[in-house]
Amino acid sequence: MTVQIDRRALLAGAGAALAAPIPAFSQQPWPQGRTLKLVVPFTAGGATDVLGRLVADKLAQTWGTGIVVENRPGAGSNIGIEAAAKAEPNGDTLLIASVGLATNPYLYAKVNYDAAKDLAPITMVALVPNLLVVNNQLPVKDVAELVAYAKANPGKLTYASSGVGTSLHLSGELFQKLTGTKMVHVPYRGSSQAIQDLIGGRVDLMFDNITSALPHAKAGTVRGLGVTTAKRAATAPEFAPIAETIPGFDVSSWFALFAPAKTPPAIIAKIQADTKAGIADPAVRSKMDALAAEPGGWTSAELGTFLQAEMKKWGDLIKEVGIKAD
């Protein structure tokens, strides 16, 4: 997808606003006519793709240039991540990545990139909580009752996920670790079939993305018990955090911008500032609200620290449990 905006019209209306905090890139970081690329390491239509296109559209409007969204799916996002990591570090190639960036080095026998060394963090785009939902036949009404039931029935509960190593799967593994319970993981090739089997009673529970789970919980086809984030979700404040019952439980599906390592700091700073401003725009915010996404806008340093923490948390858990991706 390429978005072209007339540069003269843009600058005529925004000349004062573009006056410069960054001298080398005061008005526009790239020459007129230069087309940039945003790599999405998943197929079109998913949350990463949708959020990536929102950001690409807004940045294209801000800069008056073209941005092509390139979907490079495969190997649990490794193909797209590797392509972005090995691109020229000149600001022409960006990457929108998710939790796989932190988990894949531990899930796969080999990845051809170093998440911490080969990519430069830019900013967090959005975080999306997962929602713990159970089928209506399960005799539990809250998280505490679920923990008690799981302890009384070790190995009998089944929990669905959208695939091995996803945040949905890891939510279940973290739940078991922190509660001392044992459940059976049932991976699917996506969350849509998993939620249908949950509704039908073929699996017992699921830590589903709140965007897809919330409508079912509100409709009463499944029972929502709590959100996976440490604080309540603005889009579903009626659900308490699981952490209120299980201290230390904190999981988000997250989506962040990166560039190849050695991209000039001035370019990184410009992209971070304009992305932060872009996702604060009311029109963009309304679209993110529809996805139950909490806007980011973090500094590069904050994102780098977060990535290291995610790699530590999930790496330790993946090694402890022995999870392997095909």
pLDDT in tens, 139-176: 999 999 999 999 999 999 999 998 888 889 999 999 99
pLDDT at 20 over 60: no
Residues 191, 107 share a domain: no
258/116 Cα distance (integer angstroms) = 11
Q: What percent of the chain has pLDDT over 90?
A: 77
* The pLDDT value given to residue 34: 78
| Mean pLDDT to the nearest integer, 22-45 | 71
Choose between 269 and 166: higher pLDDT.
Answer: 269
Number of domains in the chain: 2
Which of the listed residues 226, 244, 262 is the one where a domain comes to its end? 244
Residues 150, 120 share a domain: no
Q: HSE of 221 in the Cβ direction (CA atoms, 13 Å)?
A: 12
Residues 269, 120 share a domain: yes
Residues 233, 260 share a domain: no
Choose between 273 and 32: higher pLDDT.
Answer: 273
123/277 Cα distance (integer angstroms) = 12
pLDDT at 24 over 80: no
User: Does residue 2 sit within a domain?
Assistant: no
User: Does residue 169 sit within a domain?
Assistant: yes
122/303 Cα distance (integer angstroms) = 7
Residues 94, 53 share a domain: yes
Burial 107-136 (b: 16+ CB within 10 A, else e): bbeebebebeebbbbbbbbbbbbbbbbbbe
For residue range 226-265, list pLDDT tens digits in order: 999 999 988 889 999 999 999 999 998 999 999 999 999 9
pLDDT at 270 over 50: yes
Residues 135, 240 share a domain: yes
pLDDT at 194 over 70: yes
Which of the listed residues 218, 244, 270 is the one where a domain comes to its end? 244
* The pLDDT value given to residue 31: 59
Q: Mean pLDDT, the chain, as a whole number?
A: 89
* The pLDDT value given to residue 16: 35
Helix/strand/coil percentages in the chain, nearest 5:
40, 20, 40
* The pLDDT value given to residue 192: 85
pLDDT at 108 over 90: yes
Q: What percent of the chain has pLDDT over 70?
A: 90
Residues 235, 154 share a domain: yes
300/253 Cα distance (integer angstroms) = 19
Which of the listed residues 202, 218, 244 is the one where a domain comes to its end? 244
Domain limits at 19?
7-127+252-321
Residues 107, 36 share a domain: yes
- The pLDDT confidence band at residue 85, using thresholds 50, 70 and 90, is very high
pLDDT at 319 over 50: yes
pLDDT at 75 over 70: yes
14/68 Cα distance (integer angstroms) = 23
Query: Which pair of tokens denotes residue 148?
Result: 């008690």
pLDDT at 9 over 50: no
| Mean pLDDT to the nearest integer, 210-216 | 91
pLDDT at 14 over 80: no
* The pLDDT value given to residue 33: 67
Residues 180, 262 share a domain: no
